[in-house]
Structure 1
């Protein structure tokens, strides 16, 4: 495995010219590689990520949680995170981190 990724969504809220609230969904990639996990705003070394977990919603999608030495970071996802989580766990096991 060289690199694996999953799409996550951030909601940006803006007030338009008519003072109406606009919600814009922006998609980013959460990338997993030998170095660690990279998001649009953070870069985590693999040794600093203790676990990856997931909470699914009944209406689809869910939240992917990165448990790190800096705290827990959550990412809204629509895709099935199982392959990403398995890739993370196998990478951690290979490197014995």
Structure 2
């Protein structure tokens, strides 16, 4: 199955040893499919996602992308605008609503 849209996000991984603590950033992707949204470790049915929103931080370089689902809100760190991803989601969910 081909994805409709892709949004990069960052996961900060903390590694702690006896001598130091090291934070590294992993580049990951969120994929929008016709019937679901998939991240590296989670899968959300389109029917379970009520909305997607985002907020940029003061420097406008980073921000947070929020998936508002029936099971809670999931936050993802972003470094690029998610507007194209959100527009694709809204177009998909609106077309689903109008089809029924």
TM-score higher than 0.5: yes
Which aligned pairs between 1:4-83 and structure 2 lie closer than 5 A?
4-16=5-17, 19-59=19-59, 60-83=61-84
User: Following TM superposition, by how much is the alpha carbon of 1:81 offset from its aligned partner in structure 2, in angstroms?
Assistant: 0.8
Residues 44 and 23 of structure 1: is their aligned pair in 2 closer, same or farther, counting only changes over 3 Å?
Answer: same
> 2:3, 2:31 within 8 Å by CA — same for their partners in 1?
no
Task: Describe the SS at the equivalent of 2:94.
Answer: helix
User: Following TM superposition, by how much is the alpha carbon of 1:29 offset from its aligned partner in structure 2, in angstroms?
Assistant: 0.5
Partners of 2:62 and 2:91 lie apart in 1 by: 24
Task: Describe the SS at the equivalent of 2:86.
Answer: helix
**Structure 1 outlier segments of 4+, above 2 Å:** none
TM-score, structure 1 length as denominator?
0.92
User: Following TM superposition, by how much is the alpha carbon of 1:2 offset from its aligned partner in structure 2, in angstroms?
Assistant: 4.8
TM-score, structure 2 length as denominator?
0.89
CA offsets 1:36-70 (integer angstroms, 9 cap, x no match): 10001110000100000001112112000000011
Residues matched between the structures, number:
96
Q: CA RMSD in A?
A: 1.6
